[in-house]
Chain A
Amino acid sequence: MLEARDLTLHFGPVTALDGFALTVPDGHVVSVLGPSACGKSTLLRVIAGLQSIEAGDVLWDGRSLRDTPPHLRGFGLMFQDYSLFPHKTVAGNVAFGLRMAGMGGAELSGRVDAALERVGLPGYRERSIGNLSGGEQQRVALARALAPQPRLLMLDEPLGALDRTLRERLLGELRQLFADLGITAIYVTHDQEEAFALSDHVMVMRAGRVEQEGPPEEVWRRPAGEWVARFLGLANIVEARLEGGWALTPWGRFQVSAVGAAGVGVAPATPAAVLGTPEARVTSAATARLVLRPDAIGVVPLDGAPDGAAPGAVASARECVAESAPDDTPRGTVVSRVFRGGGYLLLIQVDRGPVLEAQVTWSGVPRIGERVGLIIGAEGAFVVE
């Protein structure tokens, strides 16, 4: 089990790690999710022993690794740009860790072949690194890191340079691989899809510290704060003033059932909001924010049926909530309409409020300029700090 406590590191005026803490139990995959330059790669380097820290400690099974040099830690690191040895063949690269461990001869050869098989590159032994495509290199890098069977595998944005189909496929393969091997791993990425797909525990990192952590669904459903919400792609965030059991926002009044405090490691807010009338605007600066999920907004055309749909139908990414818009729903005008493959992304200018995003299916979609009403389900709205 890996434990990192209170890691602190500065590069001059820049804070790379700010009291970061992390625990990876055996057989689990933890992903660290964050934007570029938040310190993710530095974190891996610190755990690997390639970078020294000002404060804090890294422990394995309770014993500090402070005095253990990188090559004796038994960790594997898959670099962002693979860092394959250009002067060795594929086999030479994959065998490297095994040779360092003293293996040789037939056993070595067998392990190399097995590793290459596992990543789907049988017969690539004698190829030279310069001849490989990006996907092939990624697999070789993976095979190289896996071959010595490290007790902890760290991956630094391994899928970053690949095209979408390849990425999807490899994502699936990686997941299967991790499950098959029962591997303990830390996966670092800026892509939430990868993080959610591969790990049991997600840590959202920002400027060297943990903003939120938890199971992937948790983090996804209930971001802990405005920043995390934005990072996860939730763009519909407005100020909310809390009065009584209501949140007053530029998009209308929402009934709030509970308010939680944002913060690291604390359960995020789980309010259930119910639609209220779009009355008073929020005039004073509020500490709370209302977040609306784009895919949980029902868009109802007000001027008659949109093309190709039955009259009175509702365009929504989810099951329709109501057949018609009650009078007290927020209303707005469609200002943008982009086809996204799976559906449409609409930008709707709400009357007396800011623009919001709505993701809808690809039938019955209102056109630009149409007036619509918005139905927001309880699951789709919540309040955060």
Chain B
Amino acid sequence: MKHDVLSNRRSDGRAAKRRPTPVVAAVLVLIATALVAVPASLAGCGSTTTTTAGGAATIAPAGAPTTTVTLGGEVVLMTHDSFAVSEGVLEEFTAQTGVKVRVLKSGDAGAMLNQAVLTKDHPLADVLYGVDNTFLSRALDAGIFEPYEPPGLASVPPEFQLDPSHRAAPIDYGDICVNYDKAAFTGLTKPPATLRDLTEPEYRSRLVVENPATSSPGLAFVLATIAEFGETGDYTWRDYWADLVKNDVLVVGGWEDAYYSAFSGGSGKGDRPLVVSYATSPVAEVVYAETPVTVAPTGIVAEGAFRQVEFAGVLAGAKNPEAARRFVDFLLSTRFQEDMPLQMFVYPANSEAAVPTEFATYAAVPERAAALDPAVIGANRDRWIEEWTSIVLP
């Protein structure tokens, strides 16, 4: 019905006036696509269903000598965005085995796990590395792993071997704890020594924590408080958090925001001297300082740390399972384990791997770190987060 301004005549208007509305059109298209595409994709062209379903499955005998047969092809490693490794390390694996390594970075740990679970019938990769103990039970229940017991497990302390059926192997561990800005505590106020101290008036408005629903260190800290104060008794973890709220704790969404924008120590530009971070953060401050420093600008509160263990496993239905197993071995080998600390700022699970001197000098390993059974975490995690939310964010 649009007519040219100068025209002396009408042009043909729209012929049909009555047509189905666009909403109906869009829905029709959606339904059509769904009916056509979804069954086709779920039929899974070329997907292979695997044997593992959480029950007994073949386990490679422990202690069997690793063969030195060179395989060809490629192994695909699926991991989270924080994965880092020095140049040349993965090439060594290729030199040893003839297998090329392709890395898929898949977002944060939660997103990565979702992708693995959703594609378990047609996995994206051969090896999954980066599931931590807070997610482990979910991963195991979903049955994404194939059991494999790498020989390197012999060197791993038993407290890290959290999966008796060997579907996931521990690769590294780290501690989440409160970091403090040394510069803020030079006067009379001493940095807090325990979790309970954080509720004292002298630390009012000084602490920033992350939301457990959106941040892994945030969740770890909440778990630490649950482990410390328990669910029942005179003073439960809920009471603790209520006290923290009264003490004006600041809660933010993610670690980057907490550390860089709210924390005042080291490279942080905020104004609060206490933050929930990693026990190795002070080391990173030294290593990544612009001008060399001899003393770390931040310190940790040794009490109330939570131990986080990261696992790797062979994905069920992987295209190259043999290469995948070799790669898991490699992850536990001293070469990789000794490279990890300065790349990812975690400690090696392999007790035979040496820890770099920077760690020894600047990092302190909390003597007593809390740990909760992954199955317990898996069962209660959602409820705990909900309860935390209702206490802290009314």
Contacts and interface: CB of A to CB of B under 8 A. Distances in A.
A and B touch in the complex (CB under 8 A): yes
A134 B3 contact: no
Interface string A80-103: 000000100000000000000000
Per DSSP, are chain A's interface residues mostly helix, strand or loop, or mixed? helix
A129 interface: yes
Contact of B2 (A130, A133, A134, A137): A130
B6 A131 contact: no
A86 B8 contact: no
B19 interface: no
A86 B10 CA distance: 16
Nearest to A136: B8
B93 to A, nearest CB: 70
A131 B3 contact: yes
A280 interface: no
Contact of B8 (A129, A130, A134): A134
Interface residues of B, number: 7
A161 interface: yes
A86 B6 CA distance: 12
A303 B257 CA distance: 109
B10 A131 contact: yes
Contacts of B3: 130-131
Contacts of B8: 133-134
A137 B3 CA distance: 13
B5 interface: yes
Nearest to A128: B3
A161 B10 contact: no
A129 B6 contact: no
Nearest to A161: B6
A200 B3 CA distance: 39
Interface in B296-318: none
Residue of B3, B4, B5, B8 contacting most chain A CB atoms (<10 Å)? B5
Interface string B1-16: 0111110101000000
Contacts of B4: 130
Residue of B2, B4, B8, B10 contacting most chain A CB atoms (<10 Å)? B8
Given A130-B4, A134-B8, 11 more contacts: A86-B5, A129-B5, A130-B2, A130-B3, A130-B5, A131-B3, A131-B10, A133-B8, A134-B6, A137-B5, A161-B6
13 contacts: A86-B5, A129-B5, A130-B2, A130-B3, A130-B4, A130-B5, A131-B3, A131-B10, A133-B8, A134-B6, A134-B8, A137-B5, A161-B6
Interface of B: 2-6, 8, 10
